[in-house]
Chain A
Amino acid sequence: MSKILPAGTPAPDFTLRVTPDQTLSLKELRGRPVILAFYPADWSPVCGDQMALYNEVLPEFHRFNAELLGISVDGVWCHAAFSHDHNLHFPLLADFEPKGAVAKLYGVYRDGEGVSERALFVVDKSGTISWSYLSPVAVNPGADGILEALENLPK
């Protein structure tokens, strides 16, 4: 089992699908902080859903000019339905083919289950990981750690 990439590591670049006909590369967002939120699966059956929470906290992330990307192994159509249902205002990336490749790159893939960990990264504007956090998979990590990491970024 690989280890989660720590702070100080250059964030590996990737290109993933955001919608059936659109892709997004991490390097396109260079120049502003990026939050990568890996999570196991769409449609977790609680109001405590992590993505729904981040959707509510989005204005606070934007105060730091930060971009939030949700990443799971679900496919684009699944993401589209989930995003629509939850009225999400940020992109969900499909780490679908080859499955979990980006999660593996960041050291947050759960081999046995075939899903990613619940893991958070804050990438600074020059593309270096400035904070990373691996949450117990059953515990929604909330947003406090992300906000603290954004606050600690050099101005």
Chain B
Amino acid sequence: MAKLKVPVSPADHAQGPADAPVTLVEYGDYECPYCGRAYPVVKALQKRLGKQLRFVFRNFPLRETHHHAEAAAETAEFAATQDKFWEMHDLIYENQQDLSDELLSDLAKRLKLDATDLARALETGEFAERVQKDFSGGVRSGVNGTPTFFINGQRHDADFELETLARAISEALP
């Protein structure tokens, strides 16, 4: 059974209390349709479990398959530097079917981020290393596609339907 090799740290993007009894880590790709389907599922889990759940999102762009996945991941990291990671994360998934360089720029403007700064960051690859670090850690942890979930450090090998994940999480609750 694959285990998370990179522990959750303050460098991660997390929602929910740090001392929550369950931590759900998702390795995701912003262009992957399956991740798009998992997005509302995670939202529903968060709503249902409240403070019992901490959710962490890490980047795992499948760059050869999804041509905008890397730029989208870097855009979310750019937004994170201005405390808007989750707003950007949500907006990208909610507009996934229209994902393009133009959309990313529009979303930045919608969040009152500087689109010129974003364009420069994407061009220089300012956040590429950060994204790559997530990716490499994921590979080492046995991420085998997107999305891959870890529940309290154990890879979740079943499907990611709401009830399946909810059951797996409740089994992990002390």
Contacts and interface: CB of A to CB of B under 8 A. Distances in A.
Given A47-B33, A142-B2, A55 B64 contact: yes
A147 B139 contact: yes
B32 interface: yes
A46 B62 CA distance: 12
Interface residues of A, number: 23
Nearest to B61: A56
Contacts of B33: 47
B145 A46 contact: yes
A53 interface: yes
Nearest to B67: A87
Nearest to A138: B157
B29 A144 contact: no
Interface in A135-151: 139-145, 147
B141 interface: yes
B144 A142 contact: yes
B62 A53 contact: yes
A102 B137 CA distance: 33
Nearest to A60: B139
Contacts of A143: 139, 142, 144
A89 B65 CA distance: 12
B110 interface: no
A145 to B, nearest CB: 8
B131 interface: no
B73 to A, nearest CB: 13
Contacts of A56: 62-64, 135
Nearest to B145: A48
Interface string A90-108: 0000000000000000000
Contacts of A144: 2, 5, 139-142
Given A140-B144, A144-B2, 12 more contacts: A46-B34, A47-B29, A47-B32, A48-B144, A52-B64, A56-B64, A87-B64, A89-B64, A142-B144, A144-B139, A144-B142, A145-B142
